[in-house]
Chains A and B, each alone.
Chain A
Amino acid sequence: MTEREKILARVRQALKTPAPLPGSHGKIHLPAAEQVRTSTAKQWLPFVGESFDERLALFAKNAAELKADFQLFNSADEMRAALTRLSETEKWQRVAGHSGGLTDAICATLGLPLLRTDRPYDVNDLESCDVGISECDALIAQTSSVLVTNRSAGGRALSVLPPHHVVLARREQLIADLPSAFELLKQKYAANYPSMISFITGPSRTGDIERILVLGAHGPKKLTILCF
C-alpha cells in the first residue's frame, strides 16, 4: 500500500462515525443533510453600496486607509501624463512591465528602458528596476484589492519584486466584492486557470515589530493604482 492509500484508508475509516453538525457544539447529531451549507457569503460580507459611484468611493476610501495611492482620471491621456509626472518625481531609471492594451502605449511614452517580464527575463534585472507597471484583472471595491494573475499582469514577480508597483486600470474593471471576483475568475479562466492568482490589498506591510505598521516589508513599499 502506498502512503497515499494508507492515509486515504485512515480517512475513510475515521469518517465512518458521523460528526455533530457544524456550529451545534456537539448538540445535534442528526445524520448530515445533503447540503450543510445554508447560505452564501455575499450576504454576510461587508456592504459595498448599490451604485457604481458608491463603490468607486468605497474603493478610494479603503485605498486611502491602506496607504495605497489611488488616482482617478477622465481619460487615458490624463493617466499617461500622471504616470510621466510620477516617473519624473521618483526619478525612475529602469522600468519593468508587460505587454498589454494599457501598458504598451503608456509605458512607451516614458522614454525609459523597459524590461518586459512577459518574455523570458533575468530576475536580477527585474530586481534593479525602480518600478513594476502592470495591468490587472479587476479592482474590488469591498476591500480595495487589485486582482492580478500571472497571465494578466506580467508573471509572478513583476508585481512584487520592484519597490513600487503601479497598476493601470479602467473604470469598468471595478467590481463590487470578493464573490464577484471569484465569479469573474471563473468566467475568464475556468478552462485553464493561470498558475498564480493574487489579490493585492495595499502595499507590502508588516506589524512584526511591536505590532507597529511598517510598509514595504519584502514586497513593494508603494502601490499606485491609476484608473481612468
Chain B
Amino acid sequence: MTFVSQFLKQARVMTSDLRHRRIIRTALGNYEIVRDKRKAAFQNWQSARQLAAETKWEAVNHLDQYLEELVAKLEARGTKVHWASNSAQAREIILQIVTEKKARSVIKSKTMTSEEIHLNDALEHAGLNVVESDLGEFIVQLRHETPYHIVFPSMHLTRDEISELFQRELGSAATNDPEELTMIARDALRKKYITADIGITGANFAIAETGMISITENEGNARLTAALPKTVISLLGIEKILPKLDDLALFLPMLATMGAGQALTAYNTMYGGPRQPGETDGPEEWHVVLLDNHRTELLADAEQRDALQCIRCGACLNVCPIFRNVGGHAYGTTYSGPIGSVITPHLRGLHDWKHLSNASSLCGACTETCPVKIDLHHHLLQNRRNAAQEKPSASEQTTYKLFAFAANRPKLWNFGRKVARLFQPLQKPVKGTALDPAKAWTQTRDLPPLAKESFKDWWKKRK
C-alpha cells in the first residue's frame, strides 16, 4: 500500500471513530484553557514570540558557527561528540558505544529523534533490553505503538485501556486510578534506572555558548537517566541550537506554555559534560550524537528554512483541526500535525509524502499559534507547488489546464454554468452514489442549486 492510500484509509477509520475524536477533544480542550492562562501571564506574548523567532533564526542561519562552538565547548569538558549524516550512521554510532560497553540494558528518556532513526528496533535487534522511562512513552512501548503525539505520547488512551495494558503486561492489580497507575509504572522502572548500563536522552536545546544540552521534562525520568547509568548518550538534531545560555530564560517558559500550559515544567536541566573532577555522581562517559538526516536539505530551502526553528512544543498539533480529527497515528510519520506535514516531505521524500500537505484546509491555526513563528500553512502550500512542479499529476494538471482555458473565456464559462444547471436535476437520483460525479461532496453534503439567475445575469439585465 502506498503512503497516501494508507493515510486515506486511516483517515476514514479515524474520522468515523467518534469515541477517539471525543477523547482528543476533551484532552485538548483542557490544554487550551491552561495554555491561554499561561500566555496571558506574559507581559507581551506576541513580542515574546517575535524574540523567540529572531533567536532561533539567528541560530539556524548561522548554524555552522554555532555547531562548531557547541562542539568545541562540549569536547573541552570531556564529552565525546559524534556526527551522523543519516539515521543508519546514528544507529551505528550508538550500537558501537553500546557494544564497547558490553551493555545489556538501556534506559531511555523521551526523544523523538530516536523514533526518527528507529533506534529501539536496532537496539533490541542487537539483543539489548530497552526501556522507555517517560510514562507516556512507557505505555506506548508496552503497546508496541509509536508515540501518538510528540509531547503527549499516550493521549489517545483512556485510563481503562492503560489499566488493562498494565494488568496484561506487568501483571499489576486492576485499578483505573491515574495515580495508582502512575505508581505502578514508577515501581516498574525504579530499579531499571539503577541497573541500566546506558542512558539515552534527547535534547530540547543545545547551547553553543557554554556547550550544554538542555532537557525539559516533568517526571524526573530524564534527570535520573542522565544521573545514574555509567554511560549516557544524547541524540539530537543539528537544529537544536540556541546561541546563548540565557536564551533559555525565554525558551524554557515558552516551551512549557505552548507544550503543556505550564509556566515551567518541573525539571529543566542543562548538562555540560560527564562527571567532572570532584563530582560524585553522573555518567563517566557522555556521548553526544549530532544528527543531520536531511536537515541540511531543509536548510538549503531558504523559503522553508524557518521550519528548522521548531522547538517541538506540539502546539501546532493541538490546534490543528486535521490532527484533532484523524489523530496522530494516521500520519504514519515520526512528526505529525502541521510541522510533520511540512517537514516529512523534506525528510522522507516529497513524492511519497506530499499528500500530507494536501490534507489541509490551509486554515492557518498552526501558524497563528507557533511560538517561533514558523510559516507553517504557507509551507504546505509551497510543498504543493513544489510537488506539482516536480512531478505533476497528469489528471490534475489537465483538469486545471481546462479550468484555466474555460475561466479565461467568460462566454464559455457562462455557457458551462448554464449547462451544469440543466443537468443538475439529473444528479438527484444518483446523489452520493458511485455514479454521482460529485460523489466526494455529496456523500455527506447537499450541493446548493445553481441559481436560476446568476449574479452576472442580474447585473446585465439591470444595466
Q: Residues of A with Cβ closer than 8 Å to B?
A: 2-4, 6-8, 10-15, 17-23, 25-26, 32, 36-47, 62, 117-121, 123-124, 127, 142-143, 145, 150-151, 155-157, 159-161, 177-179, 181-183, 185-186, 193-212, 214, 216-220
In the complex formed, the residue of A with least CB distance to B221 is A218
Total residue contacts A-B, CB cutoff 8 A? 310
Interface of A is mostly: loop
> Which chain B residues (32-91) contact chain A, with CB distance < 8 Å?
41-45, 47-51, 53-58, 60-64, 67-68, 71, 77, 82-85, 89
Interface string of B2-18 (1 = CB under 8 A from A): 00000000000000000
CA distance A194 to B279 in the complex (A): 9
On whether the beta carbons of B249 and A11 are closer than 8 Å, the reply is: no
On whether the beta carbons of A12 and B64 are closer than 8 Å, the reply is: yes
CA distance A203 to B280 in the complex (A): 24
On whether the beta carbons of A15 and B64 are closer than 8 Å, the reply is: yes
Q: Which 4 A-B pairs have the closest CB atoms?
A: A219-B220, A217-B219, A22-B57, A156-B227
Asked if B369 is at the interface of the complex by the 8 Å CB criterion, the answer is no
In the complex formed, the residue of A with least CB distance to B382 is A26
CA distance A113 to B180 in the complex (A): 31
B residues less than 8 Å from A45 (CB atoms): 42-43, 48, 249-250, 253
In the complex formed, the residue of A with least CB distance to B376 is A25
In the complex formed, the residue of A with least CB distance to B247 is A41
Contact partner, B219, options A38, A194, A219, Cβ 8 Å? A219
Name which of B158, B210, B280, B299 has the most chain A CB atoms within 10 A of its CB: B280
A residues less than 8 Å from B264 (CB atoms): 143, 145, 199, 201
On whether the beta carbons of A41 and B250 are closer than 8 Å, the reply is: yes
Q: How far is the CB of A163 from chain B (nearest CB, A)?
A: 9
A residues less than 8 Å from B273 (CB atoms): 195
Name which of A8, A12, A21 has the most chain B CB atoms within 10 A of its CB: A8
On whether the beta carbons of A178 and B282 are closer than 8 Å, the reply is: no
Given A157-B281, A218-B193, 13 more contacts at CB 8 Å?
A4-B83, A7-B296, A14-B296, A17-B300, A19-B57, A45-B42, A45-B43, A121-B280, A160-B223, A193-B272, A201-B263, A211-B27, A218-B219
B residues less than 8 Å from A210 (CB atoms): 27, 158-159, 178
